[in-house]
Structure 1
Amino acid sequence: MLLIDVTIVNVALPQISRSLDASMTSLQWIIDAYALALAALLLVAGSAADLLGRRKIYLLGTGVFAAASLACGLAPTDLALVAGRAVQGVGGAAMFATTTALLTATYRGHDRAIAFSAWGAVSGCAAAAGPTLGGILSQVWGWQAVFLVNLPVAAVTLFLAARVLPETRRESPRRFDLAGAVLFTVAAGCLVAGLISSTDHGWTSPLVVSLLAAGALCLALFVVVESRVRHPLFDVRLLKRPAFAGLMIAALVLQLATFAHLGYTSVWLQSVLGMSPLAAGFVVTPLSLSSLLVASFAGRRLHHLPARIPVTGGLLLIGIGVLTQTAVDASSDWTVLLAGLVVSGLGAGMLIAPLVSAAMEAAPPEDAGTAGAAVNTFRQLGHALGVAVLGAVFVHGASASLTSGGWRGDAHRTAIDLGAGQAPRLMASVPPGRRASVGDLIADAYASGLSHVFLTAGLLALAAAAAAWFLIKRPHSARIPHQAHTPAAASVQPVGRSADL
């Protein structure tokens, strides 16, 4: 449920834009508020669960997620929807941060390996189901359904979790790192807010400069604080290990290059090509399906290889696949994306399988749990930053195309409207006799913006592949383990009754 909600909203963006008169900035925040809250609060939720009990935090997070989903489905304005998405992310972080520890406490031996395999399979299915499910729900019942569908799932989850999950917590709880939690959250929020604001106000705007500067300052303070406290939220000294640093770069760019552009792709499919939400969902499904198939294969076949091989190979395939999609132009149809989506999906599947396990192998044994959580944090942070960065790239590319095509009016503002899926509204305001030429110009501008997005994402993936190859140099520093890893196993202490599943 919580992983589907990362991508399910992409297909519904054009409907949301028309229904709530949402700007491109609002659409970016509708995606990013959720991903940002997940990224900023995963480590915080994990620390809170160690202190208060993982089952308790899991139940609380599920309840918050359900309530926020209801608020999103009933949101009367784009601002209310953004707020609901942020609260959804808070609940999702609490759920995400506790699942592996709860599985570890509930299962033993061979059953534990099966449980983690099932957990991985469900994660893969969630990625595959998101676009298609979002297309079906938004086309048949409207965009509100992509949020309201969470309510029955959450109800069943709460009922079962309350009955069968044991309570667990760390044997020797650490003090909660409040300073680190606040600094990391503020740093991530300011950086994303500054990047998103640049689409409206430009890079030299005092607001944008102030937000980016504040984010950079808080990030620097976070590094200083975490290197000095006894029990840090995230031990930044782990990044001094080249293999671990390379794996974190891979986690960040994986999400940015593979998935962060899907919202803009979906808007192009529906607003420019005139596809239905369901058809647009089916177009991007090959990405998730190829990723799922390769992840299933890679988990069994690549465990004997040094992590640098599947990690670097996966990033190379992602880069090649995304760069292939730069062929999009004003005359293109959806098939121009197909080969690139499949290839980048193959790369993502190859990369996802070893990422968490390799990160824990690259860290000291006592930091294995932190390393596993760091991968999820960097992945969600990559998604949040990717949506913001690629949005700015899209506006720049579309605006330049409009200007060179002789657009009469504010090309920058028009590019922002295009990014928000407002092409039909723009066309409706043009006199009938001029719609053909204006339509061609708009289609060219959107294709140009999208091509710039793919170029940026693809080059970042190739750069990350090079960094991973040189940083993950020693095979023994990060190897894909033969058996499923269970982070924090040593620190899990059942409390009260246990469950025999």
Structure 2
Amino acid sequence: MSGRTTATGGRGWTLAVVCVATFMLLLDLTVVNVALPDIRDAFDASFTSLQWVLDAYALGLAAVLLTAGSLADRLGRKRVFTVGFIVFLLASLACGLANDVVVLSVSRGVQGLGGAVLFAVGPALIGQEFQGKDRGKAFGIFGGVVGLSIAFGPLIGGALTDGLSWRWIFLVNVPVGLLALVVSGLRMRESRDESASAVDWWGLVLFTGALTLLVLGLLRGEAEGWGSAPIVGMFAGSAVLLGGFGIVERRRGERAMFQLSLFRNVTFNGVSVVTLLCAAATMSAIFLLVSYVQNVLAYSPWETGLRFLPLTGTLFVAAAIAGSLTTRVPQRLLMGSSLALIAGGLGLVALTGPDTSWTALLPSMFGIGLGMGLFNPPRASLSIAVVEPSKAGMASGINETFQQVGVAIGIAGFGAAFQSRVTDLFAQSEAGRQLGPSAHEFGEAVAAGGGAEAVGRAPSELAPALEAAARTAFVDGLTDVMWVCAAVAVVGSLVGFLFIRTRDLHESARGDDTVLSAEVTRESLDEQSAGELPAVEAVRAGGER
């Protein structure tokens, strides 16, 4: 059973605060990309150091999602959410004031830890306040904010970097966050699982350690070498800790931080897999598309952000529509269709060529934006609908964990594939062969977005040919990887259609909704009819005899 303390305020304030916090933490996933050249110049940082600025945040964000949600169920969701918010804001301040790249990377890691708490607990807070059709609308707004934060990252990052300084992409969080903290303290209500057992410290430590090693191995695999001792050791250590976590949780039973019985829920497994595949395909795609517009088409950060507005606008409209559809249309249709649209959008990147303008991306942007907008609201709603309300924090944390692991897998895996493909394509070109042994290094620079700088250092008589070859290699490599991303989205679509079932949802998530209840009844009748068919045929056969 879930209990609440009395407090002033209403559910609208809770939704507003959660949306503001989520917008800020997800914005910092993408906003840094466009500021990396300025950060490099400010600290004279190496490429590896700049990778840590990105990786540290992703690592912190992924490592404690599940543990944060579980702790919130036990200690109070508002309390844990507030602590996470404070950590996020203090780390944002430290990022903005950093005096070298090491301090910036460490602060980014701490910022990710605070963001993980906000990301895990936010959907549970919304689920506690909204029921039935109102829950669908609330998660529609929440899903729109998730998409907008990702899509608006380049635009906001470009505006702050060009207009003020790269430091303001972090410092802007502080005043906005303080205002949201005041509102949450005055208006947000507390909720927790009153019957929860003591904190599962062993489970918390083992799972956090396992996930940290897994994500760190994925993020650093390309730079260190996938077969290198450190990376293999990270994956092996993650597997050992994960095995230990499973043993501990099985012994604790109902007192476990993560109830392993959830894996017997078909829809829980389906939503988790779809979330991972969607994150892997879309986040890596957006990362590469931003790199293409900024580094190949040579638009400034602000201009790059403006050219992604078609994706942003489509996503916002689609998310608003999806919020109202979550209680009118079977969830599996929304989830499956959204991934199919994303797959189509990713495939449409093939319309680009070495000599096309950014407008060749418009069909792709519309498809990706429509799919992402339709995906986020039902995903957030379903993530907590598979359990009783008192376990919402745990369920939300699990789903967000799958999402962040998907982001890490996508950026690491598809990023490595892109770098390898572009490097090979450039080395095989006529201009690349003229460079001889240095073609491989030149191709790696092209894949990393440094093609213009590499061309500038080359002999002047080779510059035109090298520039054309670099552009062709980048675009062709981008298209090839987008086809692979599209294939991953197709698999996610099939999983959504086949393994998300309304009857697997907890009764609290469908009790007030006539449409969903009717869907459960229809599914049950289908099962009953399928089960009775052999008996009917046997009776008929007996009568004929």
Q: TM-score, normalised by structure 2?
A: 0.79
Match of 2:455 in 1: 427
Deviation, structure 1 residue 26: 4.2
Structure with bigger gyration radius: 2
SS at match of 1:154: helix
1:477 aligns with 2:504: yes
Aligned with residue 386 of structure 1, among 410, 420, 424: 410
Are the counterparts in 2 of residues 25 and 197 from structure 1 also a CA contact under 8 Å? no
Report the Cα offset of residue 23 of structure 1: 4.9
1:234 aligns with 2:261: no
State the AA in 2 paired with 1:397: R
1:398 corresponds to:
422
Q: Distance in 2 between matches of 1:411 and 1:85?
A: 34
- Deviation of residue 247 (structure 1)? 0.9
8 Å contact from structure 1 (residues 11, 263) kept in 2: no
Q: Trace 1:7-406 onto structure 2 (pairs within 5 A).
A: 7-102=30-125, 119=142, 122-230=145-253, 231-363=255-387, 367-405=391-429, 406=433
The 10-residue stretch of structure 1 (226-235 or 348-357) with the greater mean CA deviation from structure 2: 226-235
Structure 2 SS opposite 1:227? helix
Q: Which moved further from structure 2: 86-95 or 13-22?
A: 13-22
Counterpart of 1:142 in 2: which secondary structure? coil
3-state SS in 2 of match to 1:287: helix
Q: Which runs of 5+ in 1 are unaligned?
A: 485-501
| Whole-Å separation in 2 of the counterparts to 1:441 and 1:482 | 60
Q: Secondary structure at the match of 1:384?
A: helix
Residues 298-338 of structure 1: per-residue CA shift (max 9 Å, x gap): 22134233222111111111112112214444333322322
TM-fit CA distance, 1:116: 6.0
Cα 1:329–1:63 shift into 2, 3 Å: same
80-89 or 175-184, which deviates more: 175-184
CA separation in 2, counterparts of 1:77 and 1:329? 39
Residues 256 and 382 in structure 1, CA contact (< 8 A), matched pair in contact too: yes
Indicate the residue corresponding to 1:492 in structure 2: none
Q: Is the 8 A contact 1:128 1:292 kept in 2?
A: no
Q: Which has the higher contact order (CA 8 A, sep 6+)?
A: 1
How many Å separate the matches in 2 of 1:285 and 1:130?
Answer: 11
- Match of 1:341, as an amino acid? M
Q: Verify the 8 A CA contact 1:24 1:416 in the aligned structure 2.
A: no
Specify the alignment match of 1:447 in structure 2. 475
* Cα distance change, pair 24–216 in 1 and its aligned pair in 2 (3 A): farther
Return the alpha-carbon distance in structure 2 between the equivalents of residues 39 and 455 of structure 1.
27
Deviations, residues 104-149 of structure 1 (Å, cap 9, x unaligned)? 6778999988866655554454344333212211221232221111
Equivalent position to 2:484, from 456, 461, 464 = 456
**CA-to-aligned-CA distance 1:427-464 (integer Å, 9 cap, x gap):** 22112222111112222232233234312221111112
Matched, 1:417 2:441: no
The SS at the match of 2:25 is coil
1:491 alignment partner in structure 2: none
Post-superposition Cα deviations, 1:349-372, rounded to whole Å, max 9, x if no partner, equal 222121233344444676454333
Instruction: Specify whether residues 449 and 235 from structure 1 end up closer, same or farther in structure 2 by C-alpha distance, changes over 3 A only.
Output: farther
Which deviates further from its counterpart, 347-356 or 412-421?
412-421
Letter in 1 for 2:293: L
* Shift in Å, 1:219: 3.1
- Aligned counterparts of 2:336 and 2:140: Cα–Cα separation in 1: 24
Deviates more, 1:190-199 or 1:366-375: 366-375
Contact 2:59 2:216 in 1 (8 A): no
Tell me the SS of whatever aligns to 1:252. Answer: helix
- Greater Cα offset, 141-150 or 179-188: 179-188
| 2: CA distance, partners of 1:27 / 1:478 | 43
Structure with greater helix percent? 2
Identity of aligned residues (%): 35
Report the secondary structure of 2:357's partner residue: coil
- Structure 1 position 293, deviation (Å): 1.0
Question: Is the 1:244–1:363 Cα contact (8 Å) retained in structure 2?
Answer: no
Amino acid of the structure 2 residue aligned with 1:6: L
The question of whether the paired residues in 2 share the 8 Å contact of 1:28 and 1:388 is answered with: no
Two-structure CA RMSD over aligned residues (Å): 3.1
Amino acid at match of 2:121: T
Compared CA separation, residues 243 and 426, structure 1 to 2 (3 A): same
- How many pairs are equivalent? 483
Stretches of structure 2 that go unaligned for 5 or more consecutive residues are 1-23, 514-545
For 1:419 and 1:17, locate their aligned partners in 2 and report how far apart those are by CA, in whole Å.
17
Q: CA deviation at 1:250?
A: 1.0
Alignment partners' CA distance in 2, 1:280 and 1:97: 30
TM-superposed CA distance for 1:395, in Å, is 1.4
CA distance in 1, matches of 2:127, 2:376: 21
SS at match of 1:229: helix
Q: How far apart are the structure 1 equivalents of 2:502 and 2:136? A: 24
**Residue number in structure 1 paired with 2:527:** none
Give, in angstroms, the shift of residue 67 of structure 1.
Answer: 1.6
